[in-house]
Amino acid sequence: MMAATILCLVTDVPNGTTIVCKDRTHIRVAGLEVGELVPKKAHGVLARLTVGQQVSCLPAGNEGPFIVAKCTLPDGRDLACTLIKSQAAVRSVVAWRRYALGDC
């Protein structure tokens, strides 16, 4: 069974890998390193890209209380790839394989 796409109106970004939707759903962007490996600028860049925007997220799995999803910005760019290309995030090789994310 295919997971339904979540349309997330982003209201908050608590860290450099997670977005919070208007309905309070927390989504971790699939494929990014978390914890101490997250660059300091990740939070600001993720917030600038997403807050106030409707992001489309396809759930890929769960990590603890988080939905992990492949998310797309309103202009069609992959959110994880955009963060990685801007050097605001670090690609998690393990997560990339786990969720079969493909190429940026």
The mean predicted confidence, pLDDT, of the chain is 91
Q: The whole model's pTM is what? A: 0.91
d(CA 14, CA 25): 12
- CATH, range 6-98: 2.40.50.90
Query: What is the distance between the alpha carbons of residues 11 and 70, in angstroms, rounded to a whole number?
Result: 18
Structure tokens at 2: 């295919």
pLDDT one-digit tens code per residue, 27-85: 999 999 877 777 789 999 999 999 999 999 999 988 888 899 999 999 999 999 999 99
Q: Which residue type, as a one-letter code, is found at position 83?
A: L
31 φ/ψ sector (left φ>0, alpha ψ -120 to 50, else beta): left
The pLDDT of residue 2 is 53
H or E segment to which residue 93 belongs: helix 93-98
